Amino acid sequence: MQLPPSAAGRPCLRTDQLPPAVRAALRARAGGSEPVSGYLYDPAVAVERAGALRAALPDWARVCYAVKANSHPPLVSALGTQVDGFEVASAAEAALARRVRPDGLLVAAGPAKTEALLTALVSAGVDVVNVESPLELHRLQAVAARAGRRVDVALRVNPDVVTVTGALAMGGAATAFGVAEADVPAVLALAATLPDLRVVGFHVHAVGNNLDAAAHAGYVRWCLDWSARTAAAHRIELRTVDVGGGLGVPFDGGAGFDLDRFGALLAGLTPPAGCRTVLEPGRWLVTDAGWYAAEVVDVKHTHGTWFVVLRGGINHFALPVSWDIPHRFAVLPVDDWPHPYPRPQVDDAPVTVVGELCTSEDTLARDVTVSRVRAGDLVVFPMAGSYGWEFALPHFLGHPPADRWLLG
């Protein structure tokens, strides 16, 4: 874990850059007996994003929301009617997906699948298991045999070369994900000997948070071409190509993913006949549907630096320390100060925003200039709808967990 990069004095977001409904909802929660610290979600934003994605994609694309991005049940439920199904990586996610959309497409992914997890996935009626290794094939065969059903499998592949880039790399390098491209023939030969498994395709999830729409369309083209060639060479009836997620969002305020260009480029592709092509967006669908807000507990000056100390830090919101960018925030003024002692504040100065934990790693932003921030105000991070509540360190020091609220 590393500190977020310095913002080099750049200003924080203006308060009016927060939606009016968000400002009103958060102010209504301020001033209580306990400091504010939690996530405010607007499911309508996620629904709108899903609609825009579906409108841009060709008819042959299938969209499965990656539940790991945000598993808050009301948000997942709102997306349930907008997507074809869900990508899950645990028994809990599979159960949630089936409750929300019993008839939806269910795709299982992730390394280190135990027999217990595979049993739960098969019991949930998973449509495709994206298998990560030879041992996982053996485990799944044992589970399928006990269940008395044949299970469809897509082999996850780690390609030799990946030309698309993103904030995270899961392919084209030494990672724990998938089977190296050179080992695919041997693993397919093994799968052919397992009577209760049927290889129906391939899964390639090579990058995360890519912002280049043209490069991502080229990556999808490569996935389709490679899968068709490999399936033909090994006499596999190709029914599924899962190209993963990876559509990026600009946490640093730069240009976003050009969805229209991505859709137009995909429209020029023709998947193999009878082949279902699955996209697994998570972050792109829900990032803008959430805000993390934490009350300022203290404002202090130490060795030339102003510190703004929040009720919750990485125990509630660890995303800023996991990305090499300054995550932008706004200060939401709260005028009520019901205490008899002085209210500390800082004006027109760069500040470092930290949390309540006993470690210097509990830092959410560095060297961001604020016009004014006081104890009792709220610091609000937009773009907190993905990998926020689920991605934090809630048990370190045992402070109360972050709340979750819905707008409206």
Residues with Cβ < 8 Å from 90, sequence gap 6 or more? 110, 117
Q: What is the DSSP letter of 397?
A: G
Asked if 108 and 64 touch (Cβ cutoff 8 Å), the reply is no
Q: How confident is the model at residue 160 (pLDDT cuts 50, 70, 90)?
A: confident
**Residue 356 to residues 165, 250, 312, 316, 359, Cα–Cα distance (Å):** 35, 27, 6, 10, 9
The mean per-residue pLDDT over the stretch 333-349 comes to 96
- Distances in Å between the Cα of 14 and the Cα atoms of 28, 42, 65, 360 are 19, 20, 32, 27
What's phi and psi for 67, nearest 5 deg?
-60, -25
Residues whose CB is less than 8 angstroms from the CB of residue 305 and which lie 6 or more positions away in sequence, other chains included: 352
What is the token pair recorded at 3?
């500190």
What's the mean pLDDT in 225-251? Answer: 95
Residue 237, pLDDT score: 97
d(CA 286, CA 45): 8
More confident residue, 26 or 255: 26
**Per-residue pLDDT at 252:** 83
Query: Average pLDDT of the chain?
Result: 94
Please state, for a pLDDT cut of 90, what percent of the chain lies above it. Answer: 88
Instruction: Quickly tell me which residue has 């102003």 as its tokens.
Output: 306
Whether the predicted pLDDT of 215 surpasses 80: yes
* Residue 375 CB neighbour total at 10 angstroms: 21
Residues 324-350 have a mean pLDDT of 95
Identify the architecture of domain 43-286 in CATH: Alpha-Beta Barrel (3.20)
Model confidence pLDDT, tens digit, residues 4-39: 999 999 999 999 999 999 999 999 999 888 999 999
Please answer whether residues 344 and 302 qualify as being in contact, where contact means their C-beta atoms are separated by less than 8 angstroms. no
Residue 391 gets which letter from DSSP? G
Strands 276-279 and 363-374: unpaired
Q: Rounded CA gap, 158 and 176, in Å?
A: 9
Which of 175 and 125 is assigned the larger pLDDT?
Answer: 125
Return the minimum-mean-pLDDT range out of 41-50, 63-72, 167-176: 167-176
The answer to whether 65 and 287 are in contact (CB under 8 A) is: no
Residue type, 334: V
Give me the half-sphere count of Cα atoms (radius 13 Å) on the Cβ side of residue 374.
Answer: 11
Residue 66 neighbours by CB distance under 10 Å: 26
Rounded distance between C-alpha atoms, residue 227 and residue 201, angstroms: 7
User: What gap in Å lies between CA 53 and CA 166, rounded to an integer?
Assistant: 19
- Across 68-226, where does the E strand assignment appear? 85-88, 105-108, 128-131, 151-158, 168-169, 179-180, 197-203, 207-208
| Owner of token pair 């939806």 | 104
Extended beta strands in 225-362, E state? 240-242, 276-279, 290-302, 305-310, 330-332, 345-354
Which of 84-93, 160-169, 380-389 is predicted least confidently? 160-169
Domains 15-42+288-406 and 43-286 share a fold: no
pLDDT band of 159, cuts 50, 70, 90: confident
Alpha carbon 339 to its chain centroid, in Å, reads 40
DSSP states of 221-232 as a string?
HHHHHHHHHHHH
pTM: 0.94
Tens of pLDDT, residue by residue over 256-278, are 999 999 999 999 999 999 999 99
Q: What is the Cα–Cα distance from 69 to 245, expressed in whole angstroms?
A: 11
Query: Domains of the chain: which residue ranges?
Result: 15-42+288-406, 43-286
Query: Which CATH number is associated with domain 15-42+288-406?
Result: 2.40.37.10
> 94 versus 175: which is more confidently predicted?
94
Contact present, 374 and 318 (Cβ < 8 Å): no
Q: Which helix (H) or strand (E) holds 40?
A: strand 37-41
Could you tell me which of 267, 249, 263 has the C-alpha nearest to residue 208? 249
Whether residue 171 has pLDDT greater than 60: no
For residue 166, name the pLDDT band (cuts at 50, 70, 90). very low
Rg of the chain (C-alpha set): 23
